[in-house]
């Protein structure tokens, strides 16, 4: 890694080495703006017979070379040319990686709901998968914990525990457990497992005594120095460093790749999180982001500046599809399927997708089934996120007499759907859905936004690349994120409340940018679409009926700007907490098709005539 003038770069090549595909993008300065120019992809080559990640990187860049019509690789095709010289090469080359299963960690802390939870947050925030969370009070016997540690073989362990000046004994007990288990790392049986200690600083010496000889031990600042405060930064940074030094060193070809890049390689989810956090801070908004992959689903949120990330390791659209069925249950999946389907047959189809994960739906019915499963995968991943993204537990609060009855002890979810400004979706099923209205529907149905919420998708899955770019040139990353990465689908307007079929829920009046006025009265159980392209927002007056809340309290009207997008404004009066889907099969199928028709979701139900003909 040389020293470069990152402020004045003219071009950036960035790759993301995923477990199946390596994706390359090219960003160039066009006039005064940074823009995405082209992208290329190739199969990842971490596994046999190649066992060298750089082969896939070079192949993906070769595709960029061909599409762009200029040279980025040396004559022998074995090196990336940096910096840009005339028309040849790029100024900067950067990369992220999740190949080989990403970074897999185990975390430990004294109290499950306090230091152990903070440790998990630090690990997740750094982009890792948390395989298990050990705590002194997790109800497992010592030998059971030891067996678990041995069995899981993580890439790294983060040990926390005790506020500064707090318990030493319990922390050392955990260190003793780790020492007894003497865990071996997942990759390579010969090297020592990295352990980061980020607990009570008074216990450092005793922890070192236990673990120094048996592991590669590093100490960082306590991640929970006081009950009221987390200090996750130092532990997160150390995880990144060790990811580079240890885990990446073991993966085939990464030594070479690390020498090529102009900034440290980041774990893919770490880079995506960085970008979402950045976008939220820059615009001072609350954001939820999701990346749904074949094996895992990552959810990110920023509420009032607090960033959280969760990874649902076994919720995904191919490898983990059967697990979506197992977790959600057949009934929940069928509630999104707008047709009659034989249940055992559906089970076999899902099983077959799991064992042949690269197949794609060739028929519309198959696509609808996949999108039904996606709704449930997203719903479950978001539910897990809401349970994890909570305020610090164990914090003593000053209370007034009015609080005395609320039983508030911390641990409430930070995810407040009414104050959420933007949902960003990413991953194949959302980014590559044949119609954008399908992506918007999937996100609305699974996240159930409340009030007024904008919805966007990552156009071609480039958030990881931009996340790592933000490390070297924030300005370029933000510019490309706004102009080429995010596709604004539109806005969802959904009041909270429950109702009965046919009852009025709200009236909305939109003063459109072209001077027209659009008025719409919504009944319970309806969806409606108002066409509003991206550009100037419309001024809206939303008047909820008694008992319905659009953000200003039940029955109170709201005036605000509403932004459009490639789909438009979706008015959703199907109710919230809960959303109502008819239980009767026939009625439900009719409703599902009616909702799809309104937003022009599928080609076979474009016209009501076709529907009437039973097609």
Partner 1 sequence: MAKKKANVFTPGLKVSPETVVTKERRLPIPGQLLVDKGAKVASKDIIARTELPGKVQMSNVANVLSLLPGEVPDAMIKKDGDKVEKGEVIAEKRSFFGLFRGIAKSPMDGTIEAVSRITGQVTVRGTPTPVEVAAYLDGDVVEVFPNEGVLVRTKATFIQGIFGLAGERHGELRLLSSSPDQPLKEDDIPDDVEGQIIVAGSYTDQAAFRRAMECGANGVVVAGMDYSDIKDILGYEVGVAVTGNEPLSTTLIVTEGFGHIDMAHATFDLLAKNAGRVASINGATQIRAGVIRPEIVISLEDQVTDEEAEKAEEVVGIDAGSLVRVIRVPNFGRLGRVVELPPELTVLPTESKARVLTIEFIDDGQKFTLPRANVERIEER
Residue count (the chain): 615
Minimal distance in Å, beta carbon 346 to partner 1? 9
Minimal distance in Å, beta carbon 239 to partner 1? 21
Minimal distance in Å, beta carbon 167 to partner 1? 11
Closer CB to partner 1, 168 or 239, in the complex: 168
Closer CB to partner 1, 20 or 511, in the complex: 20
Does residue 118 contact residue 164 with C-beta atoms inside 8 Å? no
Q: Which residues pair with 192 in a beta bridge?
A: none
Closer CB to partner 1, 176 or 221, in the complex: 176
Closer CB to partner 1, 178 or 290, in the complex: 178
Closer CB to partner 1, 194 or 316, in the complex: 316
What is d(CA 398, CA 394) in angstroms, rounded to the nearest whole number?
Answer: 13
Report the b/e string of 494-509 with b at 16+ CB within 10 A. Answer: bbbbebeeeeebbebb
Minimal distance in Å, beta carbon 309 to partner 1? 21
Minimal distance in Å, beta carbon 212 to partner 1? 14
Closer CB to partner 1, 181 or 469, in the complex: 181
- Stretch (H or E) spanning 301: strand 297-303
Closer CB to partner 1, 101 or 555, in the complex: 101
Contact positions vs partner 1 (CB under 8 A): 19-20, 43-44, 46-49, 99-101, 142-143, 146-147, 168-169, 172-173, 176-177, 179-182, 184, 189-190, 206, 295, 314, 319-320, 322-323, 325-327, 344-345, 347-364, 366-367, 432, 434-435, 603
Does residue 183 contact residue 273 with C-beta atoms inside 8 Å? no
Minimal distance in Å, beta carbon 547 to partner 1? 40
Minimal distance in Å, beta carbon 147 to partner 1? 7
Closer CB to partner 1, 184 or 580, in the complex: 184
Closer CB to partner 1, 268 or 573, in the complex: 268
Closer CB to partner 1, 170 or 386, in the complex: 170
Closer CB to partner 1, 157 or 422, in the complex: 157
Closest C-alpha to 426, from 455, 385, 386: 455
Report the b/e string of 568-583 with b at 16+ CB within 10 A. Answer: bbbbbbbbbeeebbee
What is d(CA 29, CA 34) in angstroms, rounded to the nearest whole number?
Answer: 4
Minimal distance in Å, beta carbon 532 to partner 1? 23
Minimal distance in Å, beta carbon 591 to partner 1? 22
What is d(CA 558, CA 542) in angstroms, rounded to the nearest whole number?
Answer: 5
Instruction: Give strand ranges (E) for 55-114.
Output: 92-97, 103-109
What is d(CA 567, CA 456) in angstroms, rounded to the nearest whole number?
Answer: 10
Q: How far is CA 406 from CA 131, 365, 400, 401, 411, in A?
A: 35, 49, 11, 10, 13
CA atoms within 13 A on the CB side of 215: 30
- The runs of H, that is alpha helices, within 182-218 are 204-211
Minimal distance in Å, beta carbon 181 to partner 1? 7
Tell me which residue has tokens 């009041």: 495
Q: How far is CA 103 from CA 123, 129, 240, 247, in A?
A: 10, 6, 10, 8
What is d(CA 377, CA 367) in angstroms, rounded to the nearest whole number?
Answer: 15
Residue 175 contacts by C-beta under 8 Å, 6 or more apart in sequence?
159, 197, 203, 206, 207, 210, 211
Closer CB to partner 1, 18 or 289, in the complex: 18
Tell me which residue has tokens 């076999």: 348
Tell me if the bond preceding 49 is cis, omega within 30° of 0: yes
Minimal distance in Å, beta carbon 290 to partner 1? 20
Minimal distance in Å, beta carbon 234 to partner 1? 25
Angle between helix 268-283 and 463-472 (nearest 10): 70
Report the b/e string of 312-346 with b at 16+ CB within 10 A. Answer: bbbbbbbbbbbbbbebbeeebbbbbbbeebeeeeb
């Amino acid at each position: 890694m040389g020293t470069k003038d990152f402020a004045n770069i003219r071009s950036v090549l960035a790759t993301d080495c995923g477990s199946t595909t390596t994706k390359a993008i090219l960003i160039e300065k066009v006039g005064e703006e940074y823009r995405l120019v082209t992208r290329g992809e190739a199969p990842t080559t971490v596994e046999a017979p190649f066992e060298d990640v750089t082969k896939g990187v070079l192949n993906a860049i070769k595709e960029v070379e061909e599409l762009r019509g200029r040279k980025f690789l040396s004559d022998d095709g074995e090196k990336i040319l940096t910096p840009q010289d005339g028309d040849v090469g790029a100024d900067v080359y950067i990369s992220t990686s999740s190949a080989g299963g990403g970074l897999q960690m185990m975390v430990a802390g004294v109290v499950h709901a306090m230091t152990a939870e903070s440790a998990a947050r630090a690990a997740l925030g750094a982009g890792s998968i948390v395989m298990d969370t050990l705590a002194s009070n997790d109800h497992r016997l010592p030998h059971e914990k030891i067996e678990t540690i041995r069995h899981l073989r993580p890439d790294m362990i983060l040990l926390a525990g005790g506020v500064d000046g707090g318990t030493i004994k319990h922390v050392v007990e955990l260190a003793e457990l780790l020492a007894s288990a003497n865990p071996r790392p997942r990759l390579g049986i010969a090297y020592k497992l990295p352990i980061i200690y980020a607990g009570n600083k008074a216990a450092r010496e005793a922890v070192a005594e236990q673990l120094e000889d048996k592991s590669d031990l590093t100490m960082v600042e306590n991640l929970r120095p006081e009950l009221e405060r987390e200090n996750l930064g130092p532990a997160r940074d150390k995880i990144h460093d060790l990811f580079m030094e240890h885990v990446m060193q073991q993966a085939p070809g990464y030594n070479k790749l690390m020498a090529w890049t102009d900034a440290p390689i980041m774990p893919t989810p770490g880079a995506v999180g960085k970008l979402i956090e950045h976008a939220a801070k820059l615009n001072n908004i609350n954001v939820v982001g999701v990346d749904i992959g074949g094996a895992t689903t990552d959810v990110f949120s920023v509420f009032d500046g607090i960033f959280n990330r969760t990874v649902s390791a076994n919720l995904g659209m191919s490898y983990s599809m059967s697990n979506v069925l197992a977790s959600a249950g057949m009934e929940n999946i069928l509630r999104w399927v707008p047709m009659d389907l034989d249940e055992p047959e559906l089970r076999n189809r899902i099983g077959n997708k799991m064992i042949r994960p690269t197949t794609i739906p060739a028929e519309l019915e198959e696509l609808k089934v996949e999108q039904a499963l996606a709704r449930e995968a997203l719903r479950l991943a978001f539910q897990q996120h809401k349970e994890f993204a909570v305020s610090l537990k164990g914090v003593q609060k000053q209370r007034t007499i009015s609080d005395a009855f609320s039983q508030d002890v911390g641990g409430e979810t930070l995810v407040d759907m009414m104050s959420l400004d933007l949902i960003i979706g990413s991953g194949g099923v959302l980014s590559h859905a044949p119609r954008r209205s399908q992506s918007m529907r999937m996100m609305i149905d699974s996240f159930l936004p409340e009030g007024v919420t904008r919805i966007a998708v990552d156009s071609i899955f480039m958030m990881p690349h931009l996340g790592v770019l933000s490390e070297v040139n924030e300005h370029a990353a933000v510019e490309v994120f706004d102009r080429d990465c995010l596709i604004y689908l539109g806005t969802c307007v959904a009041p909270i409340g429950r109702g009965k079929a046919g009852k009025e829920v709200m009236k909305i009046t939109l003063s459109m940018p072209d001077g027209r006025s659009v008025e719409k009265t919504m009944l319970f159980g309806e969806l409606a679409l108002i066409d509003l392209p991206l550009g100037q927002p419309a001024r809206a007056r939303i008047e909820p009926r008694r008992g319905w809340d659009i953000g200003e309290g039940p029955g109170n009207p709201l005036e605000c700007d509403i932004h459009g997008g490639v789909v438009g404004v979706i008015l959703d009066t199907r109710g919230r907490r809960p959303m109502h889907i008819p239980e009767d099969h026939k009625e439900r199928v009719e409703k599902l098709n009616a909702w799809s028709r309104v937003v022009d979701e599928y080609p076979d139900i474009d016209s009501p005539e076709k529907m009437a003909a039973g097609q």
